[in-house]
Structure 1
């Protein structure tokens, strides 16, 4: 059950939304926040959402897709119900004391605030999420939890905690928006909006974020989905392939045939690549030592890790770290 939110309740009135677009925002995340509003208005045949784009100083804001979006200057006294902070990269650079102070001043004047993709960082840095539950993009979960111990960081797709909403990325934002439409104007309209995007809204808020779309895989082949889920859960202490197969009621040979048929690789290769991809993410997005990363991804020896990493990525872990800045999304 979600903590009560004044926004997620039946209400015939249009919802006024200010979308705060930060520089280098992911276009997909922005679209996931805005396009459901457009589709809801169109399918309902009336204005259910009234939104505008704002930024700290107004004017064009660059997106990661390579173009800009025009914005208004964010006012000190908005006439909006909801402020959505949509962000992607350069978070710490853009989280200026002036912006954080403005968010704190705006919070009491709004019915709700939402952080989309990198947006939860801004709400957290402003001190608005202390004592609350929140989520953030799965790549940032560990760093976020360590930085904000007073926040109950969850791996959920999206979290509603009182007046504050946080989502883990673009697809979870779309799920959250469909939930908002369902709560305010009914399940039929939410399904028609989902249908406009040829999207099947089968994810719940508390569904854990995953690096791989395991839920979709599971619908196509439940056994394969179960095997991948066990691999994702066992990155730090990897079970043997035979153990994974037995755990889902298959022989090792049958599991190998399943992976070869569906994914074109053996389960052992798939599992190793999954662990190495996680190691690469930890190298670029955290300040963990190479030795700690090796242990966190299930390698008992650093030499074994080094060989596997070089074979997959064509360079050593240390060389990769030298070419990137840790905590890249920030």
Structure 2
């Protein structure tokens, strides 16, 4: 079920008794994306719509990536809730203990709506809860997620609704998901007022990209479509002429729009997208250089290495020695 699915399975009672399960190495922005929309909804509505309590996996404080500690009782002590929000980032295999997974299955069976942000969908998948469902996760981990859990229909969307679950990518997609949930349970006008509290223009559940386009670009649908095509064809790059054809522009018109809005040519932008993905693969995986080259559309390792060094200032080997992989999902 897509993001257009109705969240009619939310209980009609108010406030929604909400448990926020926070894990060690959780991204601070993802944490804020889960909690601040509830705070703003309460304030903008003038009533308590969400009543939340923080929990951690074991009862020990969870440390966010920027340093703050989140205190809370162990999730195993929670008997029930209306809404369970999971926020996780790194070290997911370490978090997926039998006790934690058992608690997630128990709370799901009790009737809780469960929403997962950033790396947290991985934990729901480990618990077997997403089998047969549509789901997404952080864009960096989509391929590994789809390979590890073939019984899940993995999508590249920013967020996905598949009752009783909602899954999203990182911080910004998580905020989009929370605004969607608020709209479905309490109405679009309130969700719009919550978004205005952050001066935030929500995106629908379209494909995730390493970086979202700036607002003027999003308001130019042909450029936005061109960027989406580029992000989806990194491994087999299209010609600029083919991209122009798909967005119903001439090559010259496409080049002019890129120059006006992005201050670079379509070719230069496309190359940067591919090499930014190469940088991610170099720092977050142990893929051989030749495989990284092929995954980012280079048939020659020599030309890839030359382009990588020109854009990033170092070789893949140098980048890896300076920045070892952060995400750790363990062996399949």
- Fold shared, TM-score > 0.5 on shorter chain: yes
Unaligned runs of 5+ in 1: none
Give the superposition deviation at 1:253.
4.1
After TM superposition, the score normalised by the length of structure 1 is 0.89
- 1:233 corresponding residue in structure 2: 232
Corresponding residue for residue 71 of structure 1: 72
- CA-to-aligned-CA distance 1:214-250 (integer Å, 9 cap, x gap): 4835334344323322322332222233443454444
- Bigger shift: residues 126-135 or 59-68: 59-68
Looking at structure 2, the residues matched to 262 and 72 of structure 1 have their Cα atoms a distance apart, in angstroms, of: 49
1:169 corresponds to: 170
Which consecutive unaligned segments of at least 5 residues does structure 2 have?
A: none
1:258 — aligned with what?
A: 257
Paired with 1:56 and 1:225, the residues of 2 have a C-alpha distance of 40
Shift of 1:43: 1.5
Partner of 1:291: 290
Question: Displacement of 1:20 after TM fit?
Answer: 0.6
> Is the 8 Å Cα contact of residues 116 and 167 (structure 2) preserved in structure 1?
yes
Q: Is 1:179 equivalent to 2:174 in the alignment?
A: no
Q: Does 1:310 align with 2:309?
A: yes
- Confirm or deny: 8 A CA contact 1:88 1:329 kept in the other structure: no
Cα distance in 2, alignment partners of residues 104 and 36 from structure 1: 26
Cα distance in 2 between the residues matched to 1:102 and 1:189: 32
Once the two structures are superposed, residues 182-216 of structure 1 have per-residue CA deviations (whole angstroms, 9 ceiling, x without a partner) of: 22222221221122122223x223x1112232483
User: Alignment partner of 1:71: what SS?
Assistant: coil
Contact 1:6 1:111 in 2 (8 A): no
Q: Distance in 2 between matches of 1:168 and 1:78?
A: 28
Greater shift after overlay, 41-50 or 90-99?
A: 90-99
Deviations 1:254-312 (A, max 9, x none): 44343333223232222111101111222333443322221121111111111111222
Show the counterpart of 2:269.
270
Q: Is the 8 A contact 1:218 1:226 kept in 2?
A: no
278-287 or 217-226: which moved more? 217-226
Aligned-residue offset at 1:142:
0.2
In the alignment, is the contact (CA less than 8 A) between 1:235 and 1:275 conserved in 2?
Answer: yes
**Contact 1:7 1:111 (8 Å CA) reproduced:** no
Distance 1:12 1:73, change over 3 A: closer
**Offset at 1:74?**
2.2
Distance 1:315 1:185 in 2: 51
Deviation at 1:15, TM superposition (A): 0.6
Which 10-residue stretch deviates more, 188-197 or 56-65? 56-65
Q: Does 1:204 align with 2:198?
A: no
Output one character per residue of 1:132-180: Cα deviation in whole Å (capped at 9) or x when no partner. 1110011110010011111111111111222122111212222222222
**Relative to structure 1, is the Cα distance of residues 298 and 36 closer, same or farther in structure 2, using a 3 angstrom cutoff?**
same
Partner of 2:212: 213
For 1:40-119, list aligned pairs within 5 A: 40-119=41-120
Number of paired residues? 327
After superposition, the Cα gap between the structure-2 partners of 1:250 and 1:296, relative to the gap in structure 1 and judged at 3 Å, is same
Once the two structures are TM-superposed, the CA of residue 23 in structure 1 deviates from its matched residue by 0.6
Contact 1:306–1:316 (CA under 8 A) maintained in structure 2: yes
